Amino acid sequence: MSSIDNLFTTLRSQGRKALMPFVTAGDPDLEFTGQIIRELDRVGSSMCEVGIPYSDPIADGPVIQASYTRALENKIKVQQILQLLRGLNDEVKMPRVTMVSYAIIHRIGVEKYVAQAQAAGVSGAIVPDLLVEEAESLSALCRKADFSLIQLVTPTTPRERAVRIANSSSGFLYYVSVTGITGERTQLPPELLDNVAWLRTQTKLPICIGFGISQPEHVQLLAPVADGLIAGSAIVRRVAQAATRPRADVVKEVGEYVRSLQLALTQAGSK
């Protein structure tokens, strides 16, 4: 079992749900990324998604795209990101996964990337641009290595295809709450709950919902049907303020924001 499998086994035994913040590695620099990850762990996040900057992301909205651009302008490299994560192993308890383009994995080499990520303490990879038709070899390698391969199902994914994606995934299944790109939203689609409920009948994997989740009200709405919730753009937007505000203030604000989501998740679980 991977550390992600162990995490969800523990959470389920306790009747709890996962809160998974997203951060962009290297925005505004790797030192600050490390500070934010430490704070996310300190305030009780279940897992952290670490975005590997890529010049042509397929599903990220303007906030995360801008953060990738800033990091790439600083010449951030994958090996530097993995070195940062390796250096956090003694301090950070929560599992970390990379959100990484398959183009990056392919360029490094599939086996090499998985080995290097594991050596850095990374528990899995979310690969948003990996087609299920091309996932078999990576899926098999990840299962053998106990390295989670997390794939996305969207509201427009045909149901037969959604089942294929679930069967080639491990760790958890990432359900995209809305059609389109990442970003903060005031409302989520009404059919979301039914779609996730159906998907749960098709897989034993934990189902975690992301895209558009930015408010405690979203957390309370979705917690009953999800095993975990993912918040990204609202955090990345706050981190971007580190360029113009005292960094300690930004770290504190991010921590307080994530605490508010964690509180909403706890309250939803107690109802």
Annotated catalytic sites, by residue? 49, 60
Is there a contact between 5 and 216 (Cβ–Cβ < 8 Å)? no
Beta-strand relationship, 18-24 and 228-231: parallel
Q: Phi and psi dihedrals of 116, rounded to 5?
A: -70, -40
- The two tokens of residue 158 are 């045909």
Cα separation, 126 vs 52, in Å, equals: 10
Per-residue HEC secondary structure of the chain comes to CCHHHHHHHHHHHCCCCEEEEEEECCCCCHHHHHHHHHHHHHCCCCCEEEECCCCCCCCCCHHHHHHHHHHHHCCCCHHHHHHHHHHCCCCCCCCEEEECCHHHHHHHCHHHHHHHHHHCCCCEEECCCCCHHHCHHHHHHHHHHCCEEECEECCCCCHHHHHHHHHHCCCCEEEECCCCCCCCCCCCCCCHHHHHHHHHCCCCCCEEEECCCCCHHHHHHHCCCCCEEEECHHHHHHHHHHHCCCHHHHHHHHHHHHHHHHHHHHHHHCC
Q: Please name which of 119, 99, 122 lies closest in space to residue 174, comparing C-alpha atoms.
A: 99
